[in-house]
Amino acid sequence: MREFLVEITTTVPEGTSQDEVDRRRAAEAVRAEELAATGNLGRLWRPVGELRSIGVWRAADEVELHEKVLGTLPLRPWMTLTVTPLESHPNDPGRGDDAR
């Protein structure tokens, strides 16, 4: 699988009930756990003091990432995404020997 750096900003539409927000956030946590189990979600961070997240996501390609991974998130309709494809750096200390 290829890796992608994904920056996500979620904006709840005005007029959305708190019950709907809570329901989607709970479903989002479940779906994130499922995607982590399949290897599609590698890491996820929230910058201090910001209402966005940054994560390393995995998929066969960018089409699959959007359609079968990010597109399955319950909060996706409220998200703005910035996706950056990644490749290993020659000096990455985490590279496996097979990548050298």
pLDDT value for 98? 55
How do residues 42-94 score in pLDDT, each as one tens digit?
999 999 988 899 999 999 999 999 999 999 999 999 999 999 999 999 999 98
Tell me, what's the pLDDT at 53? Answer: 97
pLDDT digits (tens, 9 = 90+) for 27-36: 999 999 999 9
Q: What pLDDT, on a 0 to 100 scale, did the predictor assign at position 99?
A: 47
pTM reported for the whole predicted model: 0.89
Q: What does the pLDDT read at residue 94?
A: 83
Q: How far is CA 49 from CA 1, 8, 11, 12, 43, in A?
A: 32, 15, 16, 18, 19
